[in-house]
Amino acid sequence: SRGMDKEMQLESLRRRMEVIERFIQARQAMGGDPDFAVTTCQGLLDDPANFNDQEVGVRRGDVYSLLVENHYAAGMVDQCGMLLQRMRGEGIPLAHYVDRNIVADVLGDVLGGGLGGNELSGHFQNDGEVDDDIEEDFAE
């Protein structure tokens, strides 16, 4: 019935607004309360229902990007690397969300830091170059 459709649309809209509001709170908190911001982002990512709506206002990549930027600014390169790997594992195109220089810096630091056992090590060739599938993320 139309009443049910309208209720479902309203619930979907409420959900989208809640996700957007939480994301904005996290973004605003990054400067003053990064722990709250990271916890909020993690909470958003932990609930797949936050991203089920096709008309979603915040995408998983947006949340990951905020986390990567925060960790990068704090010099937490290993955490950035793990987040980038998670993004790739979920099929999220890095180039759409994360600055190319951050990706290059993080991947270069992870490689240069001798972290051969790191999850990202499979994306490097023996000559120290980033493998083609990561470069494809940034192809125009």
Which helix (DSSP H) or strand (DSSP E) does residue 42 occupy?
Answer: helix 34-46
Tens digits of residue pLDDT in 12-54: 889 889 999 999 999 999 989 999 999 999 999 999 888 876 6
Residue 140: is its pLDDT beyond 70? no
Closest by CA position to 22, among listed 9, 39, 4, 1: 39
- 50: DSSP letter: G
pLDDT given at position 121:
39
